[in-house]
Chains A and B, each alone.
Chain A
Amino acid sequence: MIQRMSHATIFVTNQNDALEFYRDKLGFRVHTDAMVGPDFRWLTMCTNDQPDFEIILMEPKPGMLMDEETSKTVRALLDKGVLGAGVFNTNDCRGTYEEMKAKGVQFVSEPAERPYGIEAVFRDNSGNWFSLTQPTGES
């Protein structure tokens, strides 16, 4: 039986830029940052509240998992902004929205009441969009 999720991959256009964005604008911290061989950087980040869930920030590079065409396709999807990478939870959607906005994070939609809570939608600096949700009952 599967118990829980420990890792999930988010494709990013540049690992250095993504690290800065996730750390400085989203408040994540680096979990592991290690070069494995000359071309493969294993970079994972986590939130303070969930240190055992690692988000793998991976560049779609040709020559390893992907061929040239596939990596171009993934980059094009990122550029188009069609990849939705998940939902982050907060206990204060409006406050976090203001904080992130002040730091320059681009929002697709402002905080709004939904049947399940208060939700805003933002993008990371690679083009992935995320829901920022304050579930009903949390404040």
Chain B
Amino acid sequence: MLPDVETLERLARARDFIDHCYDHPLSLDQISEKACFSRYHFLRLFRQAFNKTPHQYLIERRIEKAKELLRAEDDVRVTDVCFEVGFQSLGSFSSLFHKCVGHAPITYREKARETEASKRQVPGCFLVMYKLESV
């Protein structure tokens, strides 16, 4: 059963907080505070509402941002990406990235670049029709 509207609003507030501050070290205490729930109560409600823990949500957010930075044109270093998206150690970033994406960060970048290069050979309407790109 979904939590009531007021609870959802409070949970969404905490989630917005993650969205804005994912690049900082965030503790469960800090996040649950935003929703004015005790940490364990918050953890349970958050998972119930969003099907993942606040920590999982935070990691996903960071990985998404890392993918975006890795795909960018300029050759930003993996270490810089790691710290820029809020991870504290390169080791945990690399292993989490591999677990979520299926490739190491550097391999992901190479593959993303190859895909971009291939895309330039295909008329855009096909990319859109075949859902490889949004309009």
Contact = CB atoms under 8 A, between A and B. Distances in A.
Interface of A: 7, 32, 34-37, 40, 42, 56, 64-65
A65 B114 CA distance: 22
B118 A34 contact: yes
A40 B130 contact: yes
B117 to A, nearest CB: 8
Contacts of A37: 115, 132
A36 B121 CA distance: 9
Contacts of B119: 36
Contact of B132 (A7, A32, A40, A56): A40
Contacts of A40: 130, 132
A36 B126 CA distance: 11
8 contacts: A34-B118, A36-B122, A37-B115, A37-B132, A40-B132, A42-B122, A64-B131, A65-B130
Nearest to A41: B118
Residue with the highest number of chain A CB atoms closer than 10 Å, among B122, B123, B130: B130
B129 interface: yes
A40 B132 CA distance: 8
Nearest to A61: B130
Given A32-B122, A36-B122, A64-B132, 16 more contacts: A7-B123, A34-B118, A34-B122, A35-B114, A35-B115, A36-B119, A37-B132, A40-B130, A40-B132, A42-B118, A42-B122, A42-B126, A56-B126, A64-B130, A65-B129, A65-B131
B39 to A, nearest CB: 39
B118 A35 contact: yes
